[in-house]
């Protein structure tokens, strides 16, 4: 992340999300790879976030995904770390290893390198889970530099969390 703060629109979105989670008496856990804790960091910029953010996992390496979240190593080997299956497993693992009601996970390729024809720079998978329901995933391809891709992933994660909170 640059030394600058995320854009005002992103912080406004975080504020709305914290308020929505408070109204629903819902606690959130995050499991972040390419965003490196940025989802949790944006939320904690909002006063009162401690009432809704239960914990955050930064699982940048594959080993961390396996050890901290219980993502099966076989899924990573078969599908790759940047996949819908891993995003869903990360979200489910965040719920299993926390007391939260909801979880969001992000895994992707923020660049500038590391992409391929099948998995280009900007490819991000979000996973979401709500206790008692099957995990879901979303595929996004964001354009821009590393910073822009990461911020776009955070904004999309906030949207996913908001949808899960309404279910």
Measured between alpha carbons, how far is 103 from 83 in angstroms, rounded to an integer? 17
The fourth-level CATH superfamily of domain 8-166 is CinA-like (3.90.950.20)
The pTM (predicted TM-score) of the whole model is 0.94
C-alpha to C-alpha distance for 86 and 82, rounded to whole angstroms: 7
Q: Which among 106, 108, 91, 107 has a CA at the least distance from the CA of 29? A: 91
Distance in angstroms (rounded) separating the CA atoms of residues 142 and 20? 26
Q: Where along the chain do its domains lie?
A: 8-166
pLDDT tens digits, 39-89? 999 999 999 999 999 999 999 999 999 999 999 999 999 999 999 999 999
């Amino acid at each position: 992340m640059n030394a600058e703060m995320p854009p005002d629109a992103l912080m406004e979105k975080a504020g709305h999300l914290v308020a929505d989670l408070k109204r629903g008496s819902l606690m959130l856990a995050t499991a972040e790879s390419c965003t490196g804790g940025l989802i949790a960091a944006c939320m904690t910029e909002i006063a009162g976030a401690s009432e809704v953010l239960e914990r955050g996992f930064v699982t940048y390496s594959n080993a961390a995904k396996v050890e901290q979240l219980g993502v099966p190593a076989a899924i990573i080997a078969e599908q790759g770390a940047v996949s819908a299956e891993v995003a869903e497993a990360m979200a489910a693992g965040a719920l299993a290893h926390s007391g939260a009601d909801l979880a969001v996970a992000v895994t992707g390729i923020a660049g500038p390198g590391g992409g391929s024809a099948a998995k280009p720079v900007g490819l991000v998978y979000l996973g979401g889970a709500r206790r008692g329901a099957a995990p879901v995933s979303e595929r996004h391809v964001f354009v821009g530099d590393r910073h822009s891709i990461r911020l776009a992933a955070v904004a999309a994660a906030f949207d996913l969390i908001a949808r899960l909170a309404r279910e």
